[in-house]
Structure 1
């Protein structure tokens, strides 16, 4: 779970910068969607008992969620295109994710 939270914090920092940049341009103001695995959503929305650095990451993520800079969206495992890169999955799931990413067999 710590790896997901580290990635979440990094992505939200980038989203905050992008949000500030886009505010200077004449575009529609919407929260930047952040797509997460289920294990990273619960601690970011609720208060979790964690170590100090994880609490710091969660605090910055919660701040951006509450200010409307980002929104948190749950993606089911079978729809999560990042899963083949993070864990061993069945061949069917990997082939399906590869098709969704636009990859074709050689």
Structure 2
């Protein structure tokens, strides 16, 4: 990173929001209220996909018999608290029924100790530096 060139990030600095940019109809408001849930579901499905690959790699390495098997759980990091909550809580909520098989699979591999799901905060997330605006210091 020391020898890298400064690049431009196509994001607007000092963006101002107003009430006129918000929902103007009840239907639009209802749709906007579902955005956090939809985000958690998308993160959960991405975590599910990554867990399948992690478990496959773990079993593949064990099956080779060339190297020692992986005894400790594979650490997986997720930056969405909602997705972590869905994975760690027991029971299926009304909203998570449409991806029920994924919920059960991920909970099962966590319970068996194949993977360990951990929270990674935005400041520590190596995948996030160029996905968010940089302009404001945190309070």
Task: Work out whether the TM-score is over 0.5.
Answer: yes
> Which digits, 9 at most, give the CA deviation of each residue in 1:66-86, with x for residues without a partner?
11110111111111122346x
Q: Which runs of 4+ in 1 moved over 4 A?
A: none
2:129 matches 1:90 = no
Q: Is the 8 A contact 1:36 1:73 kept in 2?
A: yes
Q: Is the 8 A contact 2:73 2:114 kept in 1?
A: yes
TM-score by length of 1: 0.72
Larger radius of gyration: 2
Corresponding residue to 2:75 among 17, 30, 33 = 33
CA distance in 2, matches of 1:81, 1:55: 30
CA distance in 1, matches of 2:98, 2:106: 13
Q: Is the 8 A contact 1:33 1:72 kept in 2?
A: yes
CA distance in 2, matches of 1:51, 1:44: 11
- In structure 2, runs of 5+ residues without a counterpart are 1-39
Q: 3-state SS of the aligned residue for 2:133?
A: coil
2:94 matches 1:42 = no
* Paired positions, count: 92
- In structure 1, runs of 5+ residues without a counterpart are 94-106
Corresponding residue to 1:53 among 73, 98, 102 = 98
- Higher helix proportion: 1
CA distance in 1, matches of 2:59, 2:105: 16
